[in-house]
A and B are shown apart, each in its own frame.
Chain A
Amino acid sequence: MAFYSKNPRNIINNLKSKVGLWSLMKQSHGTCSYSSCLNTIHLHRFLPLTTLPQFTNPDSISHKKGHFPHFQRFQSTTTEKQIDSVPNGEQSQVLDFPGGKVVFSPEMRFLSESPSVYSQCYRVLDDNGQLISHSNFVPVSEEVAVKMYSNMVTLQTLDTIFYEAQRQGRISFYVISIGEEAINIASAAALTSDDIVFPQYREPGVLLWRGFTLQEFANQCFGNKADYGKGRQMPIHYGSNKLNYFTVASTIATQIPHAVGAAYSLKIDKKDACAVTYFGDGGTSEGDFHAAMNFVAVTESPVIFICRNNGWAISTPTSDQFRSDGIAVRGQAYGVQSIRVDGNDALAMYSAVHSARHMAVNEHRPILIEAVTYRVGHHSTSDDSTKYRPANEIEWWRMARDPVTRFRKWIEINGWWGSEAESQLRSSIRSQLLHAIQIAERAEKPPVNDLFTDVYDNIPSNLREQEKLLKETINRHTKDYPADVPI
Chain B
Amino acid sequence: MAATFHGVGATVAALSSSSSSSSSSSPSNSFGSKILLSSPSRSFSVRKRASFTMVRSEGSMNFDLNFKGRRAQQLIANAVATKADSSPASSSSKPGHELLLFEALREGLEEEMERDPRVCVMGEDVGHYGGSYKVTKGLATKFGDLRVLDTPIAENSFTGMGIGAAMTGLRPVVEGMNMGFLLLAFNQISNNCGMLHYTSGGQFTIPIVIRGPGGVGRQLGAEHSQRLESYFQSIPGIQMVACSTPYNAKGLMKAAIRSENPVILFEHVLLYNLKERIPDEDYICNLEEAEMVRPGEHVTILTYSRMRYHVMQAAKTLVNKGYDPEVIDIRSLKPFDLYTIGNSVKKTHRVLIVEECMRTGGIGASLIAAITENFNDYLDAPIMCLSSQDVPTPYAGTLEEWTVVQPAQIVAAVEQLCQ
A249 touches B160 (CB 8 A): no
B167 touches A227 (CB 8 A): no
> A249-B196, A454-B197 are known contacts. Are A257 and B164 too (CB-CB below 8 A)?
yes
Mark A262-287 against chain B: 1 for CB-CB distance below 8 A, else 0: 10111111000001000000000001
- Residue of A239, A246, A262 near B201 (CB, 8 A) is A239
B204 and chain A: residue at smallest CB distance: A241
- Cα of A265 to Cα of B120 in the assembled complex, Å: 10
Mark B341-377 against chain A: 1 for CB-CB distance below 8 A, else 0: 0000000000000000000000000000000000000
- Cα of A462 to Cα of B205 in the assembled complex, Å: 21
A455 touches B (CB below 8 Å): yes
B145 touches A63 (CB 8 A): yes
Mark B216-255 against chain A: 1 for CB-CB distance below 8 A, else 0: 0000000000000000000011010000000000000000
Contacts of A460 in B (CB 8 A): 1-2, 288, 335
A227 and chain B: residue at smallest CB distance: B201
Contacts of B335 in A (CB 8 A): 460-462
- Cα of A461 to Cα of B158 in the assembled complex, Å: 32
Contacts of B128 in A (CB 8 A): 57, 59-60
Number of interface residues of A (CB under 8 A): 55
- Cα of A246 to Cα of B237 in the assembled complex, Å: 18
- Residue of B156, B199, B205 near A232 (CB, 8 A) is B199
A262 touches B261 (CB 8 A): no
B157 touches A291 (CB 8 A): yes
Mark B136-177 against chain A: 1 for CB-CB distance below 8 A, else 0: 000011001111010110101111111111111110100000
A332 touches B (CB below 8 Å): no
A240 touches B (CB below 8 Å): yes
A259 touches B (CB below 8 Å): yes
> A59-B141, A232-B198 are known contacts. Are A288 and B156 too (CB-CB below 8 A)?
yes
B157 and chain A: residue at smallest CB distance: A291
A268 touches B147 (CB 8 A): yes
B322 touches A (CB below 8 Å): no
> A287-B156, A458-B45 are known contacts. Are A268 and B170 too (CB-CB below 8 A)?
yes
Interface residues of A in 66-109 (CB under 8 A from B): none
With a 10 A CB-CB cut-off, give which of A249, A288, A292, A454 has the most chain B CB atoms. Answer: A454
Contacts of A257 in B (CB 8 A): 156-161, 163-164, 188
Contacts of B236 in A (CB 8 A): 455
Interface residues of B in 43-57 (CB under 8 A from A): 44-45
- Cα of A462 to Cα of B203 in the assembled complex, Å: 23
B4 touches A (CB below 8 Å): yes
A294 touches B169 (CB 8 A): no
- Residue of B4, B146, B202 near A461 (CB, 8 A) is B4
Interface residues of B in 252-280 (CB under 8 A from A): 259-261
A303 and chain B: residue at smallest CB distance: B164
B149 touches A254 (CB 8 A): no
- Residue of B144, B152, B167 near A246 (CB, 8 A) is B167
> A251-B191, A257-B157 are known contacts. Are A453 and B202 too (CB-CB below 8 A)?
yes
B195 touches A (CB below 8 Å): yes
> A295-B152, A461-B4 are known contacts. Are A262 and B165 too (CB-CB below 8 A)?
yes
Q: Report A's interface with B, CB cutoff 8 A.
A: 57, 59-60, 63, 196, 198, 227-230, 232-233, 237, 239-241, 246-247, 249, 251, 254-262, 264-269, 275, 287-288, 290-292, 294-295, 298-299, 453-462
